[in-house]
């Protein structure tokens, strides 16, 4: 575990259990609790310790990629871009999710109406509120409670403010995870990119933090001060920043093997984008090729690495353990030549294949020879 991360996790979990609001003296409104603000500042300081600690800075972060049919990932690599995706497109159904206690919100609504009745000096408003409060079955209250309790409202609130408005891109502390290569790099046919932690620029409205794994979904009903007015003019901003950290950085413990970090941007969907946004990325420190990468895709990566002077490694599967390890390709130009030879041999095999079914001894010998040459070449390149 990275230095400082254990303290970060402990602080994050304490924040989730800490009371958010407290009443101001003389019952004049509400403000964020002192303890919450102190813990929030502590968490920010811990992030700085992790980010700028000399020992941590030397440890890179990795991004697994597949070769999608439209070649977005390869284009982003070539153009030095990150793609930050909205959570609605992630494979985890619970991603960027929160729990809202609608029953509690409805109770707070009644309290708010009662307080409005007590402080209002307008006779018409007082009469209106009295009529509502005296008859709890009034159509006004029933419609509001029905709206708040509806699944549609909860889904719309969560999606609008979190799953469609916060854009995320994901990294891992490991480059040799068997599960990650299978899940996120197209069953070992993709590639993994290594970035220097310190070189990733964090802009306004962005955070770059480790994910926290848990068994329960945080109930955030208490973050909304329905029953009291607040003394903070920037209250919505404060609430959204606090909720975004809990929402985006909390995942089920079943994903713990990912050792994930997330770079995310709040209010990222101002232009109504459908799937996500792009952000400048630094030049990678290295690229790792999947054990099952195709010759065509390997050639694409090697050319990018040659042009941008990026180190490149081939992932190799161990024969005696459930592990894989990287072997550096020292001479990219020579490796490109091997890829070209292998592609030519493969094309020749495809041409000879129909003849194999005819019992022509010369053709069979030719195919056998080509197969051996291709296998030997593949072994020198680290391919299966």
DSSP-assigned states of every residue in 121-177: --HHHHHHHHHHHH-TT-HHHHHHHHHHHSHHHHHHHHIIIIITT-EEEEEES-S--
**Element counts in the chain: helices (H) and strands (E):** 13, 14
pLDDT band at 31 (very low <50, low <70, confident <90, very high): confident
Please state the rounded mean pLDDT for residues 166-191: 95
Q: What is the pLDDT of residues 105-135, one digit of tens each?
A: 666 666 666 655 555 555 655 565 566 556 5
Q: Which of 181, 147, 158, 173 is nearest to 94 (CA)?
A: 158
pLDDT band at 346 (very low <50, low <70, confident <90, very high): confident
Q: Is the pLDDT of residue 307 over 60?
A: yes
Percent above pLDDT 90 for the chain? 34
| Under 8 Å between Cβ of 293 and 312 | no
Q: Which of 308, 264, 16 is nearest to 162 (CA)?
A: 264
What pLDDT is stored for residue 41 in this prediction? 87
Q: Is the pLDDT of residue 77 over 90?
A: yes
What pLDDT is stored for residue 383 in this prediction? 52
What pLDDT is stored for residue 352 in this prediction? 62
pLDDT band at 375 (very low <50, low <70, confident <90, very high): low
What pLDDT is stored for residue 187 in this prediction? 96
Q: Is the pLDDT of residue 292 over 90?
A: yes
Q: What is the pLDDT of residues 243-264, one digit of tens each?
A: 888 888 999 999 999 999 999 9
| Under 8 Å between Cβ of 96 and 286 | no
What pLDDT is stored for residue 40 in this prediction? 86
Between 45 and 373, name the one with better pLDDT: 45
Q: What is the pLDDT of residues 206-232, one digit of tens each?
A: 889 899 998 888 887 777 654 455 555
What pLDDT is stored for residue 123 in this prediction? 60
pTM above 0.75, yes or no: yes
Q: How many residues does the chain have?
A: 384
pLDDT band at 302 (very low <50, low <70, confident <90, very high): very high
Please state the rounded mean pLDDT for residues 319-325: 92
Percent above pLDDT 70 for the chain? 66
Between 58 and 186, name the one with better pLDDT: 186
What are the extents of the domains in the chain?
68-280, 331-380
Q: What is the pLDDT of residues 127-167, one digit of tens each?
A: 655 665 565 545 555 655 565 555 455 556 665 667 777 88
| Under 8 Å between Cβ of 195 and 293 | no
Tell me which of 22-31, 41-50, 193-202 is least confident.
22-31
3-class SS at 32?
strand
| Mean pLDDT rounded to a whole number for the chain | 79
């Amino acid at each position: 575990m990275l230095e400082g991360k254990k303290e970060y996790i402990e602080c994050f979990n304490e924040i989730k259990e800490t009371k958010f609001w407290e009443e101001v003296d003389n019952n004049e409104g509400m403000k964020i609790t002192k303890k919450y603000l102190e813990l929030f500042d502590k968490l920010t300081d811990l992030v700085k310790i992790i980010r700028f600690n000399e020992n941590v800075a030397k440890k890179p972060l990795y991004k697994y990629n597949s070769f999608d049919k439209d070649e977005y990932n390869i284009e982003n690599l070539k153009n030095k871009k990150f793609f930050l995706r909205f959570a609605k497109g992630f494979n985890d159904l619970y991603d960027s999710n929160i729990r809202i206690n609608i029953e509690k919100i409805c109770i707070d609504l009644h309290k708010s109406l009662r307080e409005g009745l007590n402080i209002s000096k307008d006779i018409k408003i007082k009469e209106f509120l009295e009529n509502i409060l005296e008859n709890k079955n009034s159509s006004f209250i029933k419609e509001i409670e029905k709206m708040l309790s509806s699944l549609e409202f909860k889904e719309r609130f969560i999606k609008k403010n979190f799953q469609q408005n916060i854009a995320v891109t994901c990294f891992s502390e490991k480059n040799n995870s068997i599960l990650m290569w299978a899940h996120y790099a197209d069953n070992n046919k993709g590639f993994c990119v290594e970035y220097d932690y310190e070189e990733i620029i964090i802009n306004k409205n962005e955070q770059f933090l480790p994910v926290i794994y848990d068994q329960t979904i945080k109930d955030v009903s208490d973050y909304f001060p329905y029953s009291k007015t607040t003394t903070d003019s920037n209250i919505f901003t404060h609430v959204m920043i606090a909720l975004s950290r809990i929402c985006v950085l909390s995942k089920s413990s079943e994903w713990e093997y990912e050792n994930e970090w997330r770079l995310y941007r709040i209010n990222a969907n101002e232009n109504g984008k459908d799937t996500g946004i792009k952000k400048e990325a630094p030049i990678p420190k290295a690229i790792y090729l999947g054990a099952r990468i195709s010759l065509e895709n390997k050639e694409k990566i090697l050319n990018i690495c040659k042009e941008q002077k990026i180190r490149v490694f081939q992932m190799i599967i161990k024969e005696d353990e459930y592990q894989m390890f990287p072997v550096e390709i020292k001479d990219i130009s020579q490796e490109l030549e091997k890829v070209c030879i292998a592609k030519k041999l493969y094309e020749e095999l495809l041409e000879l294949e129909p003849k194999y079914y005819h019992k022509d001894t010369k053709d069979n010998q030719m195919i056998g020879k080509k197969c051996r040459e291709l296998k030997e070449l593949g072994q020198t390149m680290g391919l299966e």
